Structure 1
Amino acid sequence: MEKEIIIGSTAGLHATLAAKVVQTASKYAVDIKLYYKDKTVDLKSILGLMSLAVPKGENVKIVAAGPHAEEAIKEIASILG
C-alpha cells in the first residue's frame, strides 16, 4: 500500500516530528519506507528520516507492506500532513 503526503509542518520534517513518526512506525509489524525525491529511508530509522531534511510543502510517498500497512500509513499521514 502507498500514499502520497504533503508535509504540513511549518518547520518541515524536524527532529520532534521525525521522532513521533519513528515511534508510530515502530509500533506496527510492517515494512514501511518513505520516498523523497531520489532517496528512500526506513520510517523506523530516526537518522534516516532526519537526513532527508524535507521542508514544508514538499511531497513524499509512504509505502508499507504487512498486515497493518493501511492502519500504519493512515496514522503516519495524520502526523505528517
Structure 2
Amino acid sequence: MEKTITIKSTEGLHAQLANKLVYISTRYDVEVRLEYKNVTVDAKSILSLMSLAVPKGRNVKLIAEGKDAQKAIEEIEKLIG
C-alpha cells in the first residue's frame, strides 16, 4: 500500500516528528518505508528518517506492507500530513 503525503510541520521532518513516526511504525505488524527524492528509508530508523531532511510542504511517499498497513498509514498521515 502506498500513499503520498505532504509534510505540514513548520519545521519539516524534524527529530521529534521522526521519533513519533518511528513509534507508530514499530507499534504495528507492518513494514513501513518513506521515500523522498528517490531515496527510500526504513521508517523504523530515526537516523534514516532524519537523513532525508524533508522540509515543510514537500511530498513524501509512504509505503506500508503487512497486515496493519492501512492502520499504520492512517495514523502516520494524521501525524505528518
TM-score (norm 1): 0.97
CA contact (8 A) 2:18 2:46 kept: yes
Deviation, 1:8, is 0.1
Aligned residue type for 1:60: V
> Cα deviation per residue 1:5-58 (whole Å; 9 max; x = unaligned)?
000000000000000000111101111100101100000000000000100000
Show structure 2 runs of 5+ residues with no match: none
Show structure 1 runs of 5+ residues with no match: none
Q: Distance in 1 between matches of 2:13 and 2:30?
A: 22
Q: Distance in 1 between matches of 2:31 and 2:23?
A: 14
Q: Which residue in 2 is equivalent to 1:22?
A: 22
Structure 1 runs (4+) deviating above 3 angstroms are none
Q: Which residue in 1 is equivalent to 2:7?
A: 7
Q: Distance in 2 between matches of 1:59 and 1:6?
A: 4
Q: Distance in 2 between matches of 1:41 and 1:14?
A: 15
Residue 31 of structure 2 corresponds to residue 64 of structure 1? no
After superposition, the CA RMSD in angstroms is 0.5
TM-score (norm 2): 0.97
Give the aligned length.
Answer: 81
Aligned residue type for 2:67: P
